[in-house]
């Protein structure tokens, strides 16, 4: 495709990754972000092997490995000590692993890469502190209308617009929205010094029925303090309970006692690092389903396109795969309608599969249904004894499943940008 001036609304994972790919293709990019500056905030995230393959594609994997913590698998323990979930990335490939990272570290890695002189940074323009309220067709282009943080009007026209401003986006075309509602359950979370009483290379989850769940994720370090490894702690609860739970200082001691009764090895460490109730912050989730992800000169990626429960840990990875697939589609197509045909062919079935599976599994971990807790405990105990099923679950968690019968190729995803651009150029020349 000939050079385009493309607006990306939202400077999160999907937006930053896509900007890097499109700038490499010599497109002019304008990033528009509501926040006035990039803040070092957010909980820990788990980059699955699929996300790490995109990082390798972008050329930022080595920097991410310096700040993240290698995660070899997921283990889920019941209150009686039984290991219910036992999924390891080696089931996918011998040297496969995930990477626990602080969200601020992930954004730091992507930002540093964008701003490097060798990465066409002159092709990228920034409008921080700018909120877009309307997207209007203007001939063969798209006009953005909004306002800056100092109350100045913003109005600019682009060849195409990509919406990447998160799960609560108000810019999605209403006719595309099939579902947009909050999940009834969320979590309180905090980031603390790394866990010393559990395996530091495992994502640990703890379950008691379907109503009690805790997660401890190795989180690596932040750029300002690389010598202090961190862990993220998540405690599940119904969304209406989160605000009151966070405000009541007595809840810390009640919570620690509850953990000690079920999982004393975790409670011993938590009592040392969770010293103040003010350390906790709320996490709310949405379920967003769209009928399509792009048409004409407008598209949607990341959580804005397919927000879901975090049960499968795929949010950041899906955003990175979106950026990779859209960059590939733009590189191979000669016009925007073909871009979306290619993009939907690449991403639609995978997104649908993960959304369905996440929605199906979530009540087994976040609900008041006792029967679902019993069914989960019986079913998973049986499933993980069967090597083929255990391997399939590892592939799903790795983020590479396109549908129940086919996987994506990590090698294809990780192919370096310079090599991919050469392939895309050859395909485009043949099409033309």
Domain ranges of the chain: 5-182+285-431
Please state the rounded mean pLDDT for residues 155-170. Answer: 97
Q: CA-CA-CA-CA torsion for 175, 356, 236, 263, nearest 10 degrees? A: -170
Tell me the pTM: 0.94
CA distance 181 to 355: 14
Query: 14-68, pLDDT tens digit by residue?
Result: 999 999 999 999 999 999 999 988 776 778 999 999 999 999 999 999 999 999 9
- Tokens 């990082």, located at residue: 55
Using pLDDT thresholds of 50, 70 and 90, give the confidence band for residue 244.
confident
User: 210-243, pLDDT tens digit by residue?
Assistant: 999 999 999 999 988 888 999 999 999 999 999 8
| Residue (of 235, 223, 236) closest to 274 by Cα position | 235
In the beta sheet, which residues pair with residue 406?
403
Residue 430 has pLDDT above 50, yes or no: no
Would you state the pLDDT for residue 432? 32
Q: What is the pLDDT of residue 429?
A: 42
Question: Is the Cβ–Cβ distance between 17 and 323 less than 8 Å?
Answer: yes
End-to-end CA distance of the chain: 10
Position 303 confidence tier, pLDDT thresholds 50, 70, 90: very high
In this structure, the dihedral spanned by the alpha carbons of residues 122, 128, 134 and 139, taken in order and rounded to 10 degrees, is -20
Indicate whether 421 pLDDT > 80: no
Helix 417-431 to helix 13-24 angle, to the nearest 10 degrees?
60
Which CATH topology does 5-182+285-431 take? FAD/NAD(P)-binding domain (3.50.50)
């Amino acid at each position: 495709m000939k050079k385009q001036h493309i607006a990306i609304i939202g400077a999160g994972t999907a937006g930053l990754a896509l900007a890097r790919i499109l700038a490499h293709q010599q497109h002019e990019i304008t990033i528009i972000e509501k926040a006035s500056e990039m803040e070092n905030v957010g909980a820990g995230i788990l980059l699955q092997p699929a996300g790490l393959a995109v990082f390798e594609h972008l050329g930022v994997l080595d920097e991410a490995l310096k700040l993240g913590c290698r995660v070899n698998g997921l283990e889920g323990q019941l209150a009686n000590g039984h290991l219910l979930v036992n999924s390891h990335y080696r089931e996918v490939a011998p040297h496969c692993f995930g990477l626990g990272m602080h969200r601020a570290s992930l954004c730091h890695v992507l930002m540093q890469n964008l701003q490097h002189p060798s990465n066409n940074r002159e092709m990228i323009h920034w409008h921080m502190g700018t909120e877009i309220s309307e997207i209007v067709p203007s001939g063969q282009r798209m006009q953005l209308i909004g306002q800056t943080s100092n109350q100045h009007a913003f109005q600019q026209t682009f060849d195409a617009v990509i919406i990447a401003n998160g799960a609560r986006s108000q810019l999605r075309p209403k006719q595309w929205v099939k579902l947009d509602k909050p999940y009834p359950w969320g979590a309180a979370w905090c980031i603390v010094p790394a866990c010393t009483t559990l395996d530091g290379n495992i994502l640990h989850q703890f379950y008691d029925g379907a109503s009690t769940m805790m997660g401890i994720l190795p989180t690596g370090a932040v750029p300002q303090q690389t010598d202090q490894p961190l862990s993220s702690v998540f405690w599940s609860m119904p969304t209406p309970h989160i605000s009151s739970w966070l405000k009541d200082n007595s809840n810390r001691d009640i919570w620690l006692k509850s953990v000690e009764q079920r999982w004393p090895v975790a409670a011993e460490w938590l009592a040392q690092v969770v010293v103040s109730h003010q350390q906790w912050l709320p996490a709310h989730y949405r379920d967003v389903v769209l009928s399509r992800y792009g048409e004409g000169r407008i598209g949607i990626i990341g959580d804005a396109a397919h927000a879901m429960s975090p049960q499968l840990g795929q949010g950041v990875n899906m955003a990175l795969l979106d950026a990779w697939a859209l960059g590939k589609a733009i590189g191979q197509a000669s016009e925007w309608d073909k871009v979306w045909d290619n993009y939907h062919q690449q991403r639609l079935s995978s997104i649908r599969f993960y959304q369905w599976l996440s929605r199906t599994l979530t009540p087994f971990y976040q609900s008041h249904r006792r029967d679902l807790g019993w069914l989960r405990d019986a079913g998973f105990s049986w499933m993980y004894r069967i090597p083929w099923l255990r391997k399939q679950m590892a592939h799903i968690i790795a983020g590479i499943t396109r549908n129940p019968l086919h996987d994506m190729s990590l090698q294809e995803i990780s192919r370096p940008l310079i090599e991919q651009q050469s392939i895309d150029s050859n395909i485009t020349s043949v099409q033309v």
